[in-house]
Structure 1
């Protein structure tokens, strides 16, 4: 799993991922369940939407922990493996439970998390961590629904990390991942969750990747505000930090981000090479994805925490063992991150937890069905380190409905991602779309009620939106 990897960021600079893609089922329309690290991973590792797991935000403070942890009633990926599998975790550990799974004394997983261990690794060798104050900036964050606090978050600053790849986040994670492969128990089926940090900020990266790109082709919507784009984004971290950068200012940021993607590709290549060296590549199921994406200047936004394609659409590749060739190589089916766990359980014949939000993709992978028996998926955002900025999203076919909420305001966006893949033309003010919007809002309300959402969208939401914002539309 990558962190903050745009679905469209692969290319000539990712030869290892390109090779993996050529040997995999490539799900071209895969989406996260939340564009934020902790709830996204909680959903991915349980197969359940954030509303159901209870993990809604990144719980950086004790006060907000109640909204950050996957509740104990929910079975996760590691629970399913620990009895019969040689289970390992390396890298970023953002499955938040109480207590955290790596602290449980009788856990059957070998935990090599990045946190704490990496800092000690650097201190023992007299090395500095990437990033620092010059890679962060203050933003206002609404907390507890009633106060505003100042918090520091990553900004689009770039720099060369002089300590080198060996001491970089992902160099450390790669070392741990190779260790897991080389010390696995050959008497058991082996499972490794390698959770890389790249290409998540800080964009403070080692050579040769820092200087790898002299140019970058920027998507058309970088540095551009869309027609009738939600103004509430300016209250949210992506707009607060990203809106002041011009299109030209994003070019050096893109160059370093693509270098970090190439660094990630190197790590994937090293893991594949080790599997081949051990002669087990052909009998290994490999899943490659990201927890969510990155705006990187699209819509004049930075980081994730919104519902545009760049933030919520993710790569999803599944390379099956040679003994189980899939019936297809590419799919444009509408897929959610919550579908991955039920798919793995189905293929691996692991007992499937009850009441998962996701569905197994094996019927279309095996060619039994030509389409998924589901009409829509849902995505939610409840704030970063505190509940305050909220967004709800439903996708049906190629239509995406977004409800943006901040304090007493509510803003609606509708995009046809087939005709308008850059989502630069909000259709919510088009009279001919009224019926579609009403229907999608109703499906969203039903989902929110069934999953126990802490919010509600009033029946009058659309008429209120048109009344409030109609006079100010672009």
Structure 2
């Protein structure tokens, strides 16, 4: 079968959508991503269906909600027989090349207990051909490269500590010990460009995953102090931490789990001052600009080699980042900043839609079905997501979803999480669901905890109206929507298959 062309699937780790459109957009220079948006279709209401890194990527790459794949924490195994983008793209004749990482925890049932694959959650998902390993906690090729370049560090994590240019005590936004041309982002891009070049005369599939701007927040010059912290807006939320905690019992542990000091190496204590928050936000934006520069190199390579108009290019993020908003760092919370992610897709032959914006809700589980649809490969019934192909072509199916849905598991079976300790929840009820429609966001908990309801025609996420009797009907309606959503999206692996006298027969899900 003649394949339609190349596929380049880029994930930028922890990139907030408002860097491109929203509160931070006016404060960060992302010329290459913005230029790409002018040539592609942007999905404005795109959300990750779960957090953090491992679970979010499991959902993206398998097209499944977390309630079905159940790889719900970093370190929770993914079932070995779960179809994913790599296993299915192989059926279409592509070699699924991985440049970076998928943060997949292997199924211990198919490995010997002594196999080292069971000691890390950062392994590649089944089916991928790992061309270059770039895992945050390992990155052995990059470590080796730095050593060969003459950089000296006692321990790997020392690489991520800011270094004072004058030998004094380091500041939060001092540069990394490595030069920009030797950074992890530059190294990965160089490896991709040199490795993919020989494939010019054949169709290829590449999954390119950038760890930045994920912490530790340290950037090489000039990105470390590219942005003036004083010029940045303060994090959103109540001025008083107590007011944040008072909104719901969930938020106390959420704020305690990670703080600013956890986002930078070499600072064991770091006061949560507005100045420190702004400085770390400035470094984050510098890292985002560095990634943008290298994404620009990749796009330019496609153009220069004559492959741009034959390549489906998908650029997204695995999840968002609170970045000090609501006195919270990381993504283990319920607010949009942790889930709302960019999604930009340029499809060959779709120039009529260049620069358009899709405003209906889309989810991270839609990406894999879209890629499979484009290459002409059937989409397994295991996948909960739907192909975005009609939306890319300017059409909205009549039965398209009117809301988005996300989940979060906040348990820790080996050592009970802060939520479990403070809320008294167990391993099976330390989880929540989030449903967002045109007006409201509903958060429901499996444990005996009150719901959260945000009204975006009111104060939005700054006010929980769940206990306001005026909202009782909407609270009940949204609760029914969430229940029906879960019922409709129960595991479909074999549910549409029937054994008949003529053998197994399967109906397509969509």
1:234 is matched with which residue? 252
1:39 is matched with which residue? 55
Contact 2:46–2:343 under 8 Å retained in 1: yes
Kindly report which structure 2 residues correspond to 1:285-364, keeping only aligned pairs within 5 A, or say none.
Answer: 285-322=312-349, 325-326=352-353, 329-364=356-391
Classify 1:382/1:452 alpha carbon distance in 2 versus 1 (closer, same or farther; 3 Å): farther
Does residue 114 in structure 1 map to residue 134 in structure 2? yes
For 1:29 and 1:358, how far apart are their aligned partners in 2? 15
State the SS of the aligned residue for 1:111.
Answer: strand
Contact 1:232–1:404 under 8 Å retained in 2: no
For 1:13 and 1:171, how far apart are their aligned partners in 2? 18
- Deviations 1:54-106 (CA, angstroms, capped at 9, x unpaired): 210001xxxxxxxx2221231111112224114311123313343677597xx
1:94 is matched with which residue? 103
- Deviations 1:321-378 (CA, angstroms, capped at 9, x unpaired): 1366448710111111011111222222112111321111222222343666223332
Contact 1:47–1:356 under 8 Å retained in 2: yes
Superposition RMSD on alpha carbons, in Å? Answer: 3.1
State the SS of the aligned residue for 1:16.
Answer: helix
Unaligned runs of 5+ in 2: 1-10, 112-116, 118-122, 163-170, 262-270, 420-430, 492-510
For 1:53 and 1:174, how far apart are their aligned partners in 2? 31
1:272 is matched with which residue? 299
Displacement, 1:270?
A: 0.8
Classify 1:361/1:452 alpha carbon distance in 2 versus 1 (closer, same or farther; 3 Å): closer
Does residue 6 in structure 1 map to residue 47 in structure 2? no
Displacement, 1:410?
A: 1.4
Deviates more, 1:339-348 or 1:1-10: 339-348
Aligned length: 420
Q: Select 1:181's aligned residue among 180, 196, 218.
A: 196
Task: Give the structure-2-normalised TM-score.
Answer: 0.74
Kindly report which structure 2 residues correspond to 1:68-217, keeping only aligned pairs within 5 A, or say none.
Answer: 68-83=76-91, 84-98=93-107, 102=124, 109-115=129-135, 116-127=140-151, 128=153, 131-132=157-158, 158-184=173-199, 186-187=201-202, 189-215=203-229, 216-217=231-232
Task: Give the structure-1-normalised TM-score.
Answer: 0.80
Unaligned runs of 5+ in 1: 60-67, 137-155, 454-474
Contact 1:361–1:372 under 8 Å retained in 2: no
Contact 1:90–1:113 under 8 Å retained in 2: yes
Deviates more, 1:265-274 or 1:370-379: 370-379
State the SS of the aligned residue for 2:433.
Answer: strand
Displacement, 1:409?
A: 5.5
For 1:410 and 1:446, how far apart are their aligned partners in 2? 20
Classify 1:93/1:368 alpha carbon distance in 2 versus 1 (closer, same or farther; 3 Å): closer
For 1:437 and 1:242, how far apart are their aligned partners in 2? 35
Does residue 413 in structure 1 map to residue 452 in structure 2? yes
For 2:355 and 2:31, how far apart are their aligned partners in 1? 22
For 1:220 and 1:420, how far apart are their aligned partners in 2? 17
Classify 1:157/1:416 alpha carbon distance in 2 versus 1 (closer, same or farther; 3 Å): farther
Contact 1:292–1:314 under 8 Å retained in 2: yes
1:282 is matched with which residue? 309
Classify 1:366/1:449 alpha carbon distance in 2 versus 1 (closer, same or farther; 3 Å): closer
Contact 1:223–1:247 under 8 Å retained in 2: no
Contact 2:160–2:176 under 8 Å retained in 1: no
State the SS of the aligned residue for 2:326.
Answer: coil
